[in-house]
Amino acid sequence: MSELKTLYKEGVWVNNPALVQLLGLCPLLAVTSTITNALGLGLATLLVLVGSNISVSIVRNWVPKDIRIPVFVMIIAGFVTIVQLLMNAYTFGLYQSLGIFIPLIVTNCAIIGRAEAYASKNPIHLSAFDGLMMGLGFMIVLVVLGAMRELIGQGTLFDSADLLLGPWAQSLRIEVFSFDNQFLLAILPPGAFLALGLLIAAKNVIDAQIKSKQIAPPEAEKGPRARVTSLT
């Protein structure tokens, strides 16, 4: 059980693929202009990550070490194609708005990184859970980033969520405030860099605070010496 807990902590916070490993930044920066896009890409990445981790873990004992990377890439590409076809079939609007970034999930370093670093060395159930947690960590960051950029850029949340979740989701759209001029920078890629920088800074601040709370004020290890003859 403790192994699962470690995996959960690693994926979502301590070793978060987006905030700590800084892997898969290209889709992260490119498509997080709205929550819907971010959630769509996050879910796609999550599915691919779980699938590829399970498959890699299944075949880990038969794949020769020398050609493992091409094999992993083939497996990942297979899952990406599956996800792409599924999105094409069921969420066509989102498929169009994400465009090239769905097939580009193949090149997401976070996925091949987990296949190489974890799934190729661990049993199936743990690999699946690791994929789930890493994908979840990645998706959370994507969604938070998407929310920040959508809020600052156009003052809404969950705009056009119906592309992903079906017609009922139109009512999810929240107009927090409205203005005549979009804050273009938040929607353009530079805004994504700035927002990601702020998120990483926020994580570091929280980590520093946790650390300072954990380390209790150091107690005097030895009693004060009555007579000090040397400084050692």
Partner 1 sequence: MKLTMASSPHNHSHKSLTRLMLTVIAACIPGLIAQVVFFGTGVLIQLVLALTAVTVFEAAIMLMRKRPVWPALSDGSAWLTAVLLALSIPPLAPWWIIIIGCLFSIIIVKQLYGGLGFNLFNPAMAAYVLLLVSFPVQMTSWLPVSELSNNVIGFTEQLRIIFTDFTSIGYSLDQVRAGIDGITMATPLDTIKTDIGHGLTVTESMQKTLFNEWAGLGWMWVNLGFLAGGLYLLKEKIINWHIPVSFIASLAICSAIGYIAAPGTEPGTIFHLLSGATMMGAFFIATDPVSAATTNKGRLIYGALIGLLVYLIRTFGGYPDAVAFAVLLLNIAVPLIDYYTQPRTYGHGAVK
Give how many residues touch partner 1 by CB under 8 A.
9
- Run of H or E including 156: strand 156-157
CB of 142 to partner 1, least distance (A): 22
Contact call for residues 159 and 34 (beta carbons, < 8 A):
yes
Q: Which residues of 151-183 are buried (b: 16+ CB within 10 A; e: fewer)?
A: bbbbbbbbbbbbbbbeeeeeeeeeeeeeeeeee
CB of 188 to partner 1, least distance (A): 7
Going by C-alpha positions, the residue among 5, 3, 55, 21 that lies closest to residue 138 is 21
Pick between residue 62 and residue 179 the one whose CB is nearest to partner 1: 179
Pick between residue 82 and residue 188 the one whose CB is nearest to partner 1: 188
Pick between residue 39 and residue 186 the one whose CB is nearest to partner 1: 186
CB of 177 to partner 1, least distance (A): 12
CB of 25 to partner 1, least distance (A): 19
CB of 181 to partner 1, least distance (A): 6
Pick between residue 181 and residue 232 the one whose CB is nearest to partner 1: 181
Pick between residue 43 and residue 195 the one whose CB is nearest to partner 1: 195
Per-residue binding string, partner 1, 153-192, x by CB under 8 A, is ----------------------------x-xxxx-x-x--
Question: Binder to partner 1 among 30, 77, 124, 194 (CB under 8 A)?
Answer: 194
Burial label, 39 (beta-carbon count in 10 A; 0-12, 13-18, 19+): buried
* Footprint on residues 7-26 left by partner 1 (CB under 8 A): none
Q: List Cβ neighbours of 31 (8 Å cut-off, separation of 6 or more).
A: 37, 38, 40, 41, 98, 101
| Three-state secondary structure call for residue 157 | strand
Pick between residue 176 and residue 201 the one whose CB is nearest to partner 1: 201
Q: Does 74 bind partner 1 (CB under 8 A)?
A: no
Going by C-alpha positions, the residue among 117, 141, 123, 113 that lies closest to residue 48 is 113
**What Cα–Cα distance (Å) separates residue 209 from each residue in 132, 204, 205, 212?**
28, 9, 6, 5
Q: Does 210 bind partner 1 (CB under 8 A)?
A: no
- Binding site residues, partner 1, CB under 8 A: 181, 183-186, 188, 190, 194, 201
